[in-house]
């Protein structure tokens, strides 16, 4: 007589234990994967924030660098009316002179030529009394501001451009870096440096909003090919440079549309393209006027 010991119960027990072990392993694996995913997400999130911060800092530093490099080339121009002109009087002193208006400009070359808008120096150009003067404020290599009288060399009403000249040592002048305007694209970053409302060396930022615009000139004709930008341009910015992301001048800030009766800029601002400026200014320096571009 044989005794058969049933083995059905122990194998079942082993299978249950085996199944439980597998489920535990699966749960542990899932938990581990979830924890790893969370760590990965948090790590990536932190990295993304750090990367975004770095990119933001880099952009900020780039703008600061552009301003620091371009700013010494920008000048502050005051249109001054003397109370009287007496023989032997030192006109360069301008003691009790009245300030008629202000504007901006930039250093063109080491010879002391300054480019600005005609309308900034219009009173000087039209003066027959000998009472009008132009005072140009510049920045030296140490960041110190000094001034010289600006003599009118030439002007072109059709493009609202004028050239002044200051008598100064060449090593104190830092000519602006000139770019081109024919390859500009809408959406490019741009920066305006000038003296709005008398606040010298002010930086405003924006983009090229449009190209090939037409704006009125002082002689009533149209300035064609103007650059439109949303970089704020206000009274006192006229004649200052519009520059690109490389610090190169791409235009001369000239006009802004204001909300009627408010005097507030609408964000629609214009600059004369530098390609036109480069064609005209040498003629103004040599001949005083440029009849080629008159209408």
pLDDT at 181: 96
More confident call, 147 vs 3: 147
Q: How far apart are CA 15 and CA 19, in angstroms?
A: 6
What is the chain's percent helix, strand, coil content, to nearest 5?
35, 35, 30
More confident residue, 87 or 223: 223
Confidence at 259, pLDDT banded by 50, 70, 90? low
Rounded CA separation 114/122 (Å): 15
Given pLDDT bands bounded at 50, 70 and 90, which one contains residue 171?
Answer: confident
Catalytic choice (79, 156, 160, 200)? 160
Q: Tell whether the model's pLDDT for residue 12 goes beyond 50.
A: no
Q: What is the DSSP letter of 178?
A: B
pLDDT (tens digit per residue) in 179-214: 999 999 999 999 999 999 889 899 999 999 999 999
Burial class (CB in 10 A: 0-12, 13-18, 19+), 8: exposed
CATH annotation of 70-84+95-172: 2.40.10.10
Query: 70-84+95-172 and 189-293 share one CATH topology?
Result: yes
| 132 noted as active-site residue | no
Are 244 and 66 in contact by the 8 Å Cβ rule? The answer is no
CA atoms within 13 A on the CB side of 154: 16
Lowest mean pLDDT among 19-23, 67-71, 177-181: 19-23
Place of tokens 């009766």: 261
pTM, 2 dp: 0.77
Helix (H, G, I), strand (E, B) or coil at 43: helix
Average pLDDT, stretch 126-153?
Answer: 89
Average pLDDT over residues 251-277: 84
**Active-site residue flag, 90:** no
Segments making up each domain of the chain, as ranges: 70-84+95-172, 189-293
Active site residue 40: no
Distance CA 237, CA 156 (A): 19
> Which of 119, 156, 217, 290 is an active site residue?
119
Annotated catalytic residue within 201, 238, 244, 275: 238
Judge whether residue 19 has pLDDT over 80: no
Element (H, E) at 212: strand 202-216
Fold assignment, 189-293 = Thrombin, subunit H (2.40.10)
Distance of alpha carbon 65 from alpha carbon 241, whole angstroms: 16
Residue 246, pLDDT score:
94
């Amino acid at each position: 007589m044989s005794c058969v010991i049933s083995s059905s119960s122990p194998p079942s027990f082993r299978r249950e234990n085996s199944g439980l072990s597998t489920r535990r392993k699966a749960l542990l694996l899932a938990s581990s994967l979830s924890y790893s995913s969370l760590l990965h997400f948090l790590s990536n999130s932190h990295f993304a924030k750090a990367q975004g911060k770095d990119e933001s800092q880099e952009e900020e530093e780039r703008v600061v660098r552009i301003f620091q490099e371009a700013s010494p080339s920008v000048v502050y121009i005051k249109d001054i009316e003397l109370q009287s002109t007496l023989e032997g009087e030192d006109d360069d002193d301008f003691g009790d002179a009245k300030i008629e208006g202000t504007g901006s400009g930039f250093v063109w070359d080491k010879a002391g030529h300054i480019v600005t808008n005609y309308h900034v120096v219009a009173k000087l150009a039209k003066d027959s009394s000998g009472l009008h003067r132009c005072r140009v404020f510049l920045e030296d290599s140490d960041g110190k501001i000094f001034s010289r009288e600006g003599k009118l060399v030439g002007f072109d009403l059709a493009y609202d451009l004028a050239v002044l000249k200051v008598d100064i040592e060449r090593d104190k002048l830092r000519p602006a870096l000139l770019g081109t305007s024919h390859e500009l694209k809408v959406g490019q970053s741009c920066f305006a440096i000038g003296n709005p409302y008398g606040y010298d060396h002010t930086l405003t930022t924006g983009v090229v909003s449009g190209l090939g615009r037409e704006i009125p000139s002082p002689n009533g004709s149209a300035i064609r090919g103007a650059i439109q930008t949303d970089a704020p341009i206000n009274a006192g910015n006229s004649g200052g440079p519009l520059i690109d992301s490389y610090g190169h001048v791409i235009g001369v800030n000239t006009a802004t549309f204001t909300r009627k009766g408010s005097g507030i800029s609408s964000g629609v601002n214009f600059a004369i393209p530098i390609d036109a400026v480069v064609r005209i200014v040498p003629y103004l320096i040599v001949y005083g006027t440029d009849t080629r571009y008159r209408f």
